[in-house]
Amino acid sequence: MSLNLCVLVSGKGSNLKAIIRASASGKIKSKIKLVITNKLTSGAFDICNREGIRCVYMAEENFSSRSKYINEFLRYLRKYKIDLILLAGYLRKLPEEIVKKYRNRILNIHPSLLPSFGGKGMYGLNVHRAVIDSGVKISGVTVHIVTETYDSGPIVMQKAVIVKDDDTPESLSLRTKKAEHILYPKVISLFESKKIKVKNQRVSFV
């Protein structure tokens, strides 16, 4: 089944690019119908321009009230008939109203093996710095369902990444991103072909 995807981006957008590539090459059937960014500096604008994808800038601080912001967000999701929302380096907590409306249809990718190295402040290079400082030998990537609690939703899939002795946060980030670019499309294709079953914290596909 082909799903209408919405990708949420704050930063460079390498995961967005990977999903576009997976869609163009037929690895996934789904198409990105909408990209939303909360940062004017995001790489998402250029990427979407090149690809002819609608990119919308939406930041809560530009709305006169929280409810107007949420309504506008939901209006876009409805307008583009979005089936699955993918957070790809989106550094903003999604309003609970949106999480509730799209229950089990919002995913996040995180650059560590959750529940380790997650939570507030744990994004981008901060995660890799904490991983290296802790001395663990294996790190990785987690794709999980977004719930009302940060980085704690049911885990859909994980991929391990080796931590090398001479790794810096930057080198570990590079290796981890390669794994992210493989894992996210895999998870999307799982959502395309199977029914998701979520029981407590456990995700299975039937």
Residue 44 vs 70, nearer CB to ligand GAR: 44
Q: How far is the CB of 13 from ligand GAR (least distance, A)?
A: 5
Active-site residue set: 110
Residue 111 vs 185, nearer CB to ligand GAR: 111
Residue 63 vs 175, nearer CB to ligand GAR: 175
Beta strand pairing call for 4-9 and 31-37: parallel
- 98, with CB counted inside 10 A (0-12, 13-18, 19+), is middle
Strands (E), the chain: 4-9, 31-37, 55-57, 84-87, 106-110, 138-145, 155-162, 196-199, 202-205
**Residue that has been written with the tokens 């995660």 in this structure:** 127
Binding residues vs ligand GAR (CB under 6 A): 9, 11-15, 88-89, 109-111, 122-124, 127, 177, 180
